[in-house]
Amino acid sequence: MNQAVIVGISDMKIVNEPEKLISYALGSCVGICIIDKVAKISGMAHIMLPYNNSLDKENTFKYADTGITEMVRQMGYLGGRKNRMIAKIAGGAKMFDIKGSSSIGNIGERNILAAKETLQKLQIKLYAEDVGKNYGRTITLESTTGNLTIKSFGRNLIII
């Protein structure tokens, strides 16, 4: 069995079949997985924030808008084509319910919206999602099948 390639926080990795990608402990962060079955490549980004308003060049993958765009660009260098790519996303939980602080409490929701908006701008079909709610997730992407397995403490395993 192949060991999975770990995608850390504010990170992105691209693998060839049959490698796997895994990202641990997505809370309000969103994991974006993009698969091109013809090119036999898959990418995963673990984003923390919705928009790179400061155009932070050091942390491209910290943000949904720049992180997804850069992942798609790098997949293109490896033979990926946007018209064949599909996306799956998970995470974006509301981990903290802080009274009087809706912006902190809703960062997960803002991350989800930014990820969806960026995918739409790039014309990449969002094929499946497991987002929101109030619990963390660990995600594993099987590049061969495109299955995204989502594990959450005390919850049933989900495969999308």
Q: Encode pLDDT of 47-72 as tens digits.
A: 999 999 887 778 999 999 999 999 99
DSSP label at residue 67: H
* Section 16-25 average pLDDT: 97
Cα atoms in the Cβ-side hemisphere of radius 13 Å centred on 103: 2
Q: What is the reported pLDDT for 54?
A: 80
Q: Catalytic residues, which ones?
A: 29
59-112: per-residue pLDDT in tens? 999 999 999 999 999 999 999 999 999 999 999 999 876 655 555 558 999 999
Q: Provide the residue ranges of all domains of the chain, joining segments of one domain with +.
A: 5-159
% of the chain at pLDDT higher than 90: 86
Q: Domain 5-159, what fold?
A: 60s Ribosomal Protein L30; Chain: A; (3.30.1330)
Helix-then-strand count for the chain, H and E: 3, 10
- DSSP letters, 79-136, are T--GGG-EEEEEE-------TT-HHHHTHHHHHHHHHHHHHHHTT-EEEEEEE-TTS-
CA–CA distances in Å: residue 142 to residues 13, 16, 56, 136, 145: 13, 10, 31, 20, 6
- What is the residue-averaged pLDDT of the chain? 93
Question: pTM score, two decimals?
Answer: 0.93
Question: Is residue 12 predicted with pLDDT exceeding 70?
Answer: yes
Q: What is the reported pLDDT for 104?
A: 53
CB 68 within 8 A of CB 45: yes
Q: What is the reported pLDDT for 103?
A: 53
